Amino acid sequence: MKAKVNTSIWSTCLTSLALISDHHFLTKPVEPEISLNHLSIDNILLNKQEYEIIRHEVIGLIIDTAVKFLPNIAFLKHSKPLESAYISAKTEVIPLSCLPYNENKYQDDVKILAWYQQLLDTIKKEAGADAELKFVIGGDQLTRERLSEAMLLRFGNIDPQDRFSHIGRCVEFFHLGMNYLEKVIFGELWNVEGVVEKGNPRGQCERLTEDPKIMKAYEADKDFVDNYLSANIIEALMSFFGMDNRNDFPTKNLPPTSFDDDKAKETWKIYATEINDYIELVLDNGQTILIPVAVSEITYKQLKPDKVKDYAHYSLEVGLIFSYFLNLCKEPVREQFLPLLKMMMVQLRGHSINAKYPKEILRMLVQQYSVMGLQESCQVFCASFVNLHWRKDGNVPADLVQEWSVKESKKHIKHMFSNKENLTIEHTTSALPSIHKIASNFDVEVGTLVRAKRHKDKSYDDEICVIMEDLREILPFTHKEGRSYETFKNIPKSLC
């Protein structure tokens, strides 16, 4: 949230955005969803019902990939997402002026909060809003921690305004996704040293010239993980259905094809079980009896572990969770997002006992369930996302929009050259909303057309095919005893 300028007067400045969205949730109760006295560990950890929600959505992601890349699996249909009542109203984004404060200093953090408090009081007074109306502030994790600690410095103040009682905080999901990608996916699946082996992300990245540094190339790495996940899903399905290539027909594990509905298939399964377990015998007197079939005990040889297969299963697990997380950021539904956060909390904690984001998620879950009323918790959750396109799936995390604003502010400050004075920078950045409005009105008046061409063949399809060629040689989902990657001999099959 800060833009650095090479001047002694203005070495660090803080940029902010005002996000205005039409999410009131007035029909929700003001009481917490779970009383703080009744909140238990069972409410914080993932339960069976919440797991089924995640499982349903993840299966949908797998089916969508299969339908796209495997044309001969005709019995799979595009998935239907769970019904949700999300409001697709567009969010108003208003850039605020840059402040000449350094968030690394607590005295400046208090000044930042005081500036926010004064701005909010002015807005409420001009709008005739309730004086007790609360606002939430966000940012990256370090910014939130510093501002929260600055609030504690004023916690004992008698005046509610001086102790910033009308300012809250929320978790930002762009930085959470970046941390998950860096720690859980690249941190566990990437070998910094050692042999570069075919089939794992490092081998594919070096072949496709991708940059594994998340902070430097997050978008490219995110797209690469999505392509790597798609290739693994396709390889797993081809292995399960006995297919040699993408255009082959399934040869095993096919469902019954002689029934038209699920009820008939379920009846067939029960009847087939009875036939397999009993032999029907008709006696001379016409009586029919069922004789149980003697089933000999089957013993299996203990197979040696296949760590390449475990590596592939781990890649599928964390990749699907990350892909589901990205989809929910586009269409955030609180009832689906909170269970996912519980799973991500466990996975991040499993990566490192000193990880900060599991604590951040835990604090958010407690606030969402028991500290805030259900109405306020829904408002705070929706405040973490910005709808840019009036669409149900047109949302992006609020901290990502803030990153865009920081880049724009840096660009304007850079072109001020030697005129980088405090007042000049503040006036210039505060005029950004008017600049956007003037440019938009000009485009409308002159009838500017924004032309775009949609490519039939996506470039990422070629990248997926390259990864699939390597996976076809390795066959990671076919068990082969004793296999392992050189630097991943102890990788678990699952992180949870």
Which DSSP string corresponds to 39-87? --HHHHS--HHHHHHHHHHHHHHHHHHHHHH-TT-TT-----PPP----
* Same domain, yes or no: 152 and 6: yes
At residue 26, the pLDDT reads: 76
Give the type of residue at 193.
Answer: E
- Read off the tokens for 431: 């005029």
Q: Per DSSP, which regions of 251-287 are E strands?
A: 278-282
**Predicted confidence (pLDDT) per residue in 168-204, tens digit:** 777 789 989 999 998 888 888 887 777 777 778 877 7
* Same domain, yes or no: 129 and 25: yes
- Provide DSSP, 217-230: -HHHHHHHHHHHHH
- Judged against a pLDDT cut of 80, whether residue 297 lies above it is answered with no
Q: Tell which residue, 190, 245, 148, has the closest CA to residue 465.
A: 245
At residue 85, the pLDDT reads: 53
In which band, very low, low, confident or very high, does the pLDDT at 421 lie, cut at 50, 70 and 90? Answer: confident
**CA dihedral over 395, 397, 403, 406, signed as positive or negative:** positive
- Domain membership of residue 454 (yes or no) is no
Selected residue with higher pLDDT from 323 and 10: 323
* Same domain, yes or no: 13 and 136: yes
Alpha carbon distance 432, 435 (integer Å): 5
- Judged against a pLDDT cut of 60, whether residue 384 lies above it is answered with yes
Asked whether the beta carbons of 314 and 230 are under 8 A apart, the reply is no
Asked whether the beta carbons of 95 and 15 are under 8 A apart, the reply is yes
- Judged against a pLDDT cut of 60, whether residue 157 lies above it is answered with yes
% pLDDT > 90, the chain: 11
- Judged against a pLDDT cut of 50, whether residue 2 lies above it is answered with no
- Provide DSSP, 131-164: TT--EEE--SHHHHHHHHHHHHHTTT-SSTTTTT
- Read off the tokens for 295: 């089933």
In which band, very low, low, confident or very high, does the pLDDT at 418 lie, cut at 50, 70 and 90? Answer: confident
* Same domain, yes or no: 402 and 279: no
- Judged against a pLDDT cut of 80, whether residue 337 lies above it is answered with yes
At residue 341, the pLDDT reads: 94
At residue 7, the pLDDT reads: 45
Alpha carbon distance 220, 223 (integer Å): 5
- Judged against a pLDDT cut of 60, whether residue 457 lies above it is answered with no
Selected residue with higher pLDDT from 190 and 215: 190
- Judged against a pLDDT cut of 60, whether residue 119 lies above it is answered with yes
397 backbone dihedrals φ, ψ, rounded to 5°: -60, 145
- Domain membership of residue 303 (yes or no) is no
At residue 485, the pLDDT reads: 83
* Same domain, yes or no: 376 and 287: no
**Predicted confidence (pLDDT) per residue in 73-110, tens digit:** 867 776 666 555 555 678 888 888 888 888 888 888 88
- Read off the tokens for 380: 């705070």
- Domain membership of residue 427 (yes or no) is yes
* Same domain, yes or no: 20 and 167: yes
- Domain membership of residue 251 (yes or no) is no
**What does the mean pLDDT of the chain come to?**
79
At residue 211, the pLDDT reads: 64
Q: How far is CA 112 from CA 11, 131, 253, 384, in A?
A: 16, 20, 62, 20
Give the type of residue at 354.
Answer: N
* Same domain, yes or no: 280 and 423: no
In which band, very low, low, confident or very high, does the pLDDT at 272 lie, cut at 50, 70 and 90? Answer: very low
Q: Which residues contact 144 (CB under 8 A, 6 or more apart)?
A: 137, 138, 169, 171, 172
At residue 383, the pLDDT reads: 84
Boundary (domain end) residue, out of 256, 291, 326: 291
Asked whether the beta carbons of 69 and 61 are under 8 A apart, the reply is no
Q: How far is CA 327 from CA 139, 152, 226, 369, in A?
A: 21, 36, 12, 23
- Domain membership of residue 136 (yes or no) is yes
339-347: average pLDDT:
93
* Same domain, yes or no: 273 and 403: no
* Same domain, yes or no: 167 and 25: yes
- Provide DSSP, 439-467: HHHHHHHHT--------SS-HHHHHHHHH
Alpha carbon distance 395, 20 (integer Å): 14
At residue 342, the pLDDT reads: 94
In which band, very low, low, confident or very high, does the pLDDT at 340 lie, cut at 50, 70 and 90? Answer: very high
**Predicted confidence (pLDDT) per residue in 13-37, tens digit:** 778 888 887 777 778 888 999 998 9
* Same domain, yes or no: 271 and 400: no
Selected residue with higher pLDDT from 436 and 34: 34
135 exposed, middle or buried (CB, 10 Å; 0-12, 13-18, 19+)? middle
Of 2-6, 58-62, 407-411, the least confident: 2-6
* Same domain, yes or no: 277 and 388: no
Residues in the chain: 496
- Domain membership of residue 129 (yes or no) is yes
Selected residue with higher pLDDT from 386 and 430: 386
At residue 270, the pLDDT reads: 43
In which band, very low, low, confident or very high, does the pLDDT at 44 lie, cut at 50, 70 and 90? Answer: very high
* Same domain, yes or no: 381 and 280: no
In which band, very low, low, confident or very high, does the pLDDT at 10 lie, cut at 50, 70 and 90? Answer: very low
- Domain membership of residue 386 (yes or no) is yes
Give the domain extent around 43. 2-49+85-174+371-444
Selected residue with higher pLDDT from 454 and 241: 241
* Structural domains of the chain, count: 2
For residue 367, the 8-state DSSP code is I
- Domain membership of residue 481 (yes or no) is no
